[in-house]
Structures are given as C-alpha cells and as structure tokens.
A and B are shown apart, each in its own frame.
Chain A
Amino acid sequence: MEFEEEEEELIESKPKYSEAEKYRIFDKEFMPHVDSMYNFAFRLTNDEDDANDLMQDTFMKAFRFINSFQEGTNSKAWLFRILKNSFINDYRKKSKEPSKVDYQEVETVYNSTEDAEYESTTDLRIEAVQDMIGDEVAMALNGLPVDFRTVIILCDIEGFTYEEMAKILDIPIGTVRSRLHRARNLLKEKLRSYAKSMGYKELR
C-alpha cells in the first residue's frame, strides 16, 4: 500500500532535470550514500545477495524517479525511504527470516508486558554492555523483529532524527518514539541474556 502511494507521488512529478543533470545529481547526491544504503540493506535482509539486489533496485528506482527528488534536500532520507519501501514490498515476503509478525500485533504484545519487561531489564549492567564486543551487540540487534531492528539502525547507527525517521517509515513521530522505546527494551533483553552467558563463561 505504501508502495503504491510512493509510486503515485513519484509519477506525479513533472520532469525538470536534463539527462546531464540527472547524472550529475545521481553522482553527487546519491552515490555518496552507497555504503550506508548497503549497510542498511544488509542489516534488514541479513543476507549479502539480498542486500546487493535491494540496494541496486533502490538506486535504479531513485534514478528512474529522480525528478521527484528536489536537489539540495535530504537525499539520504529520500533514498532510505525508497529502500525501506522496496524491502517491505519485494523482499520481506521472500525473506529467509522465520517469524513474520505484524507491527500491530507486536506492539500490542509489548504494550501489555511493558511493566514486566522493565523489571526484567533492570539487572543489565553498564559494565556488561561496555565489555561486549561488536559481534555480540550486532547479534542482539539481529535477533530483533525487523520493525524494531529498523528503528534502532536508523536512529543509533545512521543517526537520523525522529523527524527524518517519521518520513522514512511513513509513521507519526509519536509512533517513532514508542517504537524506539520498545525496540530498546527488547534489545536490552537480548543484551541481558548475552551478559548472563558472558558471566557464565567467566565463572568457568
């Protein structure tokens, strides 16, 4: 659904760039984000080939609909939005990820367990987080359902503001805030179990 909206929005725009300008904009505004885009695609799909395809599809789409991009505006957010929509529409269905849980469903579940969740995350110690290596943090992140993983990637790894995230994800800022909050509680849960296993190793 989101995709159709996007296509409409993209198609409606009037051509304004010459062929030479298109190439210049593509090179100057889009290509510098190629690593961030690939990283995002890889963290979403957890698969190199899928990340490869997803990234190329996104750039092809960006080029095809370049007239709907206003030069000088936030090209990174614009590209991330296209990538996210392509992922939802083209990759999510065939993705190798096992559990496909609906946003609403997940958010309802975590709403009802908010208190219990908080109690159980209090014993995660800062020292344990600081001692963790990147792979452990990355594994905890990868273990999150994709919608929660996405907000953490956008916010903490890519450094987007809530306003930018709202645009990329097509959700209100309030939803960005609560989804992030829930994502972080889930992440703390994961980190806590890693911390526990680390402690176990140390005792042995």
Chain B
Amino acid sequence: MAQCSGNELMKEECENHEKCMKMIQAVLDGSATPDEIEHFKNNIEVCKPCVDGYELEKSIKESLKTKVSKVCCPQKTIEQLKVKIGIGLLLILGLVIKIKVIQEIFI
C-alpha cells in the first residue's frame, strides 16, 4: 500500500507488499502510528494483494485469539507457589526476630 495510491482501478500487483503487510499487521494489532492508520484508510481499497492480505491476516489473528485454547494454571501450582512465598515470609520474620534478639542481648 505504501506504493499504491491514486488509481481508480484496483491493482493486481503490489510493488511493496512486504512493507504494506507490516503496516497492515500493525493496524490489525492496534500498534500502528496515526500516519499509518491514515495511509491505511486511504489506500486499502486500491490494491488487491493488500486487501487479500488484510483479510487473511485478520482471519488468522482471530483464529489464534479465539480457537487456540488457553491452558489454565493448575490449582496445585498456585498452592505450591503460595506455600513458597509463605515460607519466604517466615524466613524473613525469623531473621528479623533473630536480629532483634541478638541486639537485645548485646545492647
């Protein structure tokens, strides 16, 4: 699309398709710059490989988002983690108490 503008007829070839696709992906990913969004809006309908590319990328992105199952963290793992963090707290508390005891003895 970077290279395709102004033609009334839809272009069958895209001279700069790789660059176009990066921009199209950025738009779909919600990370395009305002300039890119503007360029995208003005040019997307002019270039057939870019229109097709846009549709395909969109459909793959949606498939990844909605079809690939998310694995949940096993409850056992969460419990183990809480125990570990809890033990960490006990060690710190133990250390603080020790230091205080030592201080009391020597001061």
Contact = CB atoms under 8 A, between A and B. Distances in A.
Interface stretch (B38-46, B59-67, B98-106): B59-67
Nearest to B82: A31
A178 B23 CA distance: 10
A157 B70 contact: yes
Given A132-B67, A187-B60, A191-B60, A34 B73 contact: yes
A125 B30 CA distance: 24
Nearest to B24: A181
A72 interface: no
Nearest to A37: B73
Most buried by A among B17, B63, B72: B63
Given A56-B77, A137-B67, A184 B59 contact: no
A120 B93 CA distance: 62
Contacts of B65: 156-157, 159
Contacts of A39: 70-73
Interface string A181-197: 10010011001000000
Given A35-B73, A38-B77, A60 B60 contact: no
Given A55-B77, A63-B88, A126-B55, A181 B64 contact: no
B81 interface: yes
Given A39-B70, A43-B71, A129-B59, 5 more contacts: A38-B73, A124-B56, A126-B55, A129-B60, A187-B60
Interface of B: 17-18, 21-22, 25-26, 29-31, 49, 52, 55-57, 59-61, 63-65, 67-74, 77-78, 80-81, 84-85, 88-89, 92-93
